[in-house]
Structure 1
């Protein structure tokens, strides 16, 4: 990959800053804003530099990032990544619900090499509810990346399917990268090679490929740094209160239902709303109704669990009308 070199001078404050990267499209800036505020609020006294890698950024979101800098002791950088870098993955993107933005994380080490020697990548459906001191203190001299194990059942299935050397498999929503070591071991290139070789059989295209590329090379840390919370499991059983997440620092709402879906009536909405309301994206409302046919179908199912038969039928009918023919 040959991304453009940075056009901004790296300030002294940024050199001692903790760098965090996101890869989003314009639809996910609202969610990313809540993630960023949850990090800032729970880590007073820490200077953060937030990097946003995207194919395009609307002027309104650029303005909100500048507002973020004006209101909090942080620095932000936008890095425009050319879609041409990922043209070889177009068939994966076309055949799944994934946004092309998921592939931009492979460009992070090359794009940020002039800014920092280590960076924390986060998915934008994560909320921080604790301090990052322990994570920031992890030794980084020889490590390539710190990763967090996925759910046990997923680990067993994917480790076997991918023929990994150990029964270890990580969720790629949190990646703490040593940029120098990552590039020296050519992890991005190995990930691309894995996708081109076997991507059609992968369950999670870039995540599976990253697990192959980092097999036996990544260092696993506690699940509290990427606590996977599936809202669908709660809602399928009409449980609207959040269960205890223990000492989790990052809560990752990795399923198809997100805490900004006001229609789901789950208590996780309050956590998202708290940080969303403090962010420059607060003027963008939460989703009052399902946004697509898949959400319509889930909403119908959840309403049936709540014994709201009439409403369930209404949303199932909307699903039937909206789904692709």
Structure 2
């Protein structure tokens, strides 16, 4: 029998009332290194603020647990790992088995139930986000009458998904950042409605949980400035041989590298790699190297394209041959 979201237990030993700004991540062991840089970037730009960092996962290695919990030795920082029963997500597997996504993406739907005894406001972030400014104005945002604050997705994505989902309001958000009013979310039963929407229509969703959330929150989410989830795709820059990070001062507080190339892929040689290195060096995972070469056949193919755009034709052909070899082996 599947565990209802409302039955999730909270460990009272960790519940403390304080003035911390709560931030939560939903990651597996592969993304702790990346999340570490996200946390380091937040701490660097907000030295006077108290933070409580939460991680939700179905499994965490001892190595990553120790590294994450070591952050609590810093003044004003608390950490908490919430282990979830993987059986909770079995119901989604038929819909995600043949896609890029795993059923673990639905972990974020349990955030309000798990954290309701910790705080009434929580910021969810994807682990491919870097902070380059203060969160003070976001923390001061009055959410009293709002379920969640979100940021609009790219214009082209919005137009396609609004049409595909037949949304009543022509707005569509990227779920990599959600600033949640926990009591209002729970009162409106957003998580259960999202699950119901996915189980009913999941086969036609392009972005599984994001599409479901947009369908359920159609007309009920508060849209805020794009600086709080500034979407930045590296592929376009690299295919156009533009290695510079093209963000004007003040345009972004959270940069979300939401595309298929990430700034921890040092092989791409984009300026975002140096930005990631800056925060990675301050993180608890600083001894773990960046990806110096493509990690799979898809990255190998992209690397070949990027090298060709830079005029490195021989290297490009070498990597294309590696891509073909890696693809045959998969």
Counterpart check, 1:204 vs 2:214:
no
Per the alignment, residue 32 of structure 1 pairs with 35
Q: Which moved more, 1:244-253 or 1:292-301?
A: 244-253
Does the aligned pair in 1 maintain the 2:16–2:118 contact within 8 Å?
no
How far apart are the structure 2 equivalents of 1:251 and 1:228?
6
Per the alignment, residue 278 of structure 2 pairs with 274
Q: Which moved more, 1:70-79 or 1:177-186?
A: 70-79
How far apart are the structure 1 equivalents of 2:248 and 2:55?
28
Alignment of 1:61-140 (within 5 A): 61-140=64-143
Per the alignment, residue 293 of structure 1 pairs with 297
Does the aligned pair in 2 maintain the 1:56–1:80 contact within 8 Å?
yes
Question: Per-residue deviation at 1:242?
Answer: 0.8
Counterpart check, 1:302 vs 2:306:
yes
How far apart are the structure 2 equivalents of 1:72 and 1:154?
41
Per the alignment, residue 260 of structure 1 pairs with 264
How far apart are the structure 2 equivalents of 1:145 and 1:138?
11
Per the alignment, residue 19 of structure 1 pairs with 22
How far apart are the structure 1 equivalents of 2:103 and 2:289?
25
4+ aligned runs moved over 4 Å, structure 1: none
Per the alignment, residue 49 of structure 2 pairs with 46
Counterpart check, 1:145 vs 2:148:
yes
How far apart are the structure 1 equivalents of 2:205 and 2:248?
30
Question: Per-residue deviation at 1:246?
Answer: 3.9
Say how many residue pairs are matched.
323
- The superposition leaves residues 33-80 of structure 1 with CA deviations (integer Å, 9 ceiling, x where unpaired) of 000010011011100000000010010111111221113420000001
Does the aligned pair in 1 maintain the 2:69–2:80 contact within 8 Å?
no
- The superposition leaves residues 153-173 of structure 1 with CA deviations (integer Å, 9 ceiling, x where unpaired) of 111110111011111000000
CA RMSD in angstroms, aligned pairs only? 1.2
Per the alignment, residue 233 of structure 2 pairs with 230
- The superposition leaves residues 280-323 of structure 1 with CA deviations (integer Å, 9 ceiling, x where unpaired) of 10011000000111111111111111121221122112211222
Q: Which moved more, 1:245-254 or 1:74-83?
A: 245-254
Structure 1 stretches lacking a partner, 5+ long:
none
Question: Per-residue deviation at 1:217?
Answer: 0.6
Counterpart check, 1:163 vs 2:170:
no
Question: Per-residue deviation at 1:91?
Answer: 2.3
Question: Per-residue deviation at 1:94?
Answer: 1.6
After TM superposition, the score normalised by the length of structure 2 is 0.95
Question: Per-residue deviation at 1:93?
Answer: 2.7
How far apart are the structure 2 equivalents of 1:29 and 1:99?
17
Question: Per-residue deviation at 1:183?
Answer: 0.7
How far apart are the structure 1 equivalents of 2:274 and 2:325?
31
Per the alignment, residue 172 of structure 1 pairs with 175
How far apart are the structure 1 equivalents of 2:101 and 2:284?
26
3-state SS of the aligned residue for 1:8?
A: helix
Question: Per-residue deviation at 1:101?
Answer: 3.1
Counterpart check, 1:4 vs 2:16:
no
Per the alignment, residue 241 of structure 1 pairs with 244
Per the alignment, residue 214 of structure 1 pairs with 217
Structure 2 stretches lacking a partner, 5+ long:
none
3-state SS of the aligned residue for 1:139?
A: coil
- The superposition leaves residues 182-231 of structure 1 with CA deviations (integer Å, 9 ceiling, x where unpaired) of 01101001111111111111111110000011111100000000000000
